[in-house]
Structure 1
């Protein structure tokens, strides 16, 4: 009962805030839409280190209408990530329960899509949940099921964004050449001045599910890295699930690559 009342209060407060100023529109939002353990925290930190972007990372706000933007601003204020004069409201969404019921206005935002190859991502998800003592994704099979579902949702979301309001990239590409990927994001989403490879890691991005609690705080930039030789080791999951993971990954890579080619 207390949980229901608390959520109702948050929704009411969100509605009031969202109707208090014209800035609370999805066209003024900047999103990272991705899955867990794909490098999204580092990119979020770069975006949120800008004075024109208000946010810190993943807020766990359900985007189902304009009231969500009031909740987003309230969450940022509570976690120390609110910049009232910023041009953009930021959120990172890694779970489909938060964007499954996205309204048409949601797709007026600017969005960066990210994906990481299944072997790397699934091992990293399992490692994280074991380290923090949570049971939800402590097995490769559970993490792989999440991966397949989330990538399918990302493909659906991708197709609904106008080409000039979205860009997709892989974790591998971001780590191989951060400067090139940041320049591409800046050009496509018309971010002025362009993104630069440096950031401050806010405490809120490392706590309470806001981002990466393991390594984010150690860095102030995206450090270029080459291919991990352990990434090609087979996962300990059913073959059909492994095939689904690979298929979903390649589908998104093809969409992102095709989109870059048309730019």
Structure 2
């Protein structure tokens, strides 16, 4: 539950301070649970030109999403997106961004997709659900198919002038320097993105993102090798189709 002080302070901040900052440049990290989004978030937030804290859970169709996002960033990190800084949010669930027009109406929208090859994504999701909800059956292939369709629909709805970037967790781990250099150029960052990042009190907190030991290490680490069960053909085909669409649409594609 939100602390009573924040229920008072956040609307005041939104009414007074947030408008003074103007229209934000919003990097919206679009992905799926266990797709490497927390790692990429840490790498991005280690850059002095990017402000945020992870998955905000704000609803871009609801009241004042930008004010709430900025207030959360200020409260958790002490930083705001003034000047040439970007504001970052991670969106992994459809209910928070059902229509990109809702975000584009409030911000200079910069979508950044992160995907993960289905076999690894399924294995990681299975472990997550087993740890957090043991005994509860979850249809993971259906979950992936639904999210692929949602991410594809967002791409279809984006006007041609919106700059899109798309990477995969697999490419990020295999070629960190090349992938991060491409993102540095895409966003026009003055300080290059680095494969190492400073660990903060936010790092590894469940609710903000992945809480694994790998995330708390402060550097990119390949996942532990394990026998990967092949993904159903339907899932592989849907993933390939999404990658093809994003590869054709994105200004930067490292999939």
Is TM more than 0.5 here? yes
Deviations 1:212-258 (A, max 9, x none): 112344322223x4995623x235xxxxxx34322221112212333
Shift of 1:74: 2.1
Output aligned runs, 1:59-208, within 5 Å: 59-64=56-61, 67-78=64-75, 80-84=76-80, 86=82, 87-102=85-100, 103=102, 104-105=104-105, 108-131=108-131, 133-134=132-133, 138-139=136-137, 141=139, 143-159=140-156, 160=158, 162=160, 165-208=163-206
Quote the Cα distance in structure 1 between the aligned partners of 2:191 and 2:230.
42
Q: Secondary structure at the match of 1:204?
A: coil
Distance 1:151 1:14 in 2: 38
Structure 2: distance between partners of 1:200 and 1:262: 26
1:257 aligns with 2:247: yes
- Asked if 2 retains the 8 angstrom alpha-carbon contact of 1:18 and 1:70, the reply is no
TM-fit CA distance, 1:185? 1.1
| Structure (1/2) with the larger helix percentage | 1
Which segment drifts farther, 172-181 or 121-130?
A: 121-130
Residue from 11, 14, 27 that aligns with 1:13: 11
Aligned partner of residue 179 in structure 1, secondary structure: helix
Shift of 1:81: 2.5
What is the rounded CA distance, in whole Å, between the counterparts of 2:16 and 2:239 in structure 1?
Answer: 36
Call closer, same or farther: CA 1:158–1:19 in 2, change over 3 Å. Answer: farther
Q: Cα gap change, 1:153/1:15 in structure 2, threshold over 3 Å: closer, same or farther? A: farther
For 2:230, the equivalent position in structure 1 comes to 234
1:140 Cα deviation (Å)?
Answer: 5.1
Note the residue ranges of structure 2 that are not aligned, 5 or more in a row.
none
- State the superposition RMSD in angstroms: 3.2
TM-score normalised to the size of structure 2?
A: 0.81
Q: How many residues align?
A: 245
Distance in 2 (CA, whole Å) between partners of 1:101 and 1:93 is: 12
**Superposed CA offset, 1:10-41 (max 9, x none):** 8x82883487424353x521121111111111
SS of the equivalent of 1:193 reads coil
Q: Any stretches of 5+ residues in structure 1 without a counterpart?
A: 236-241
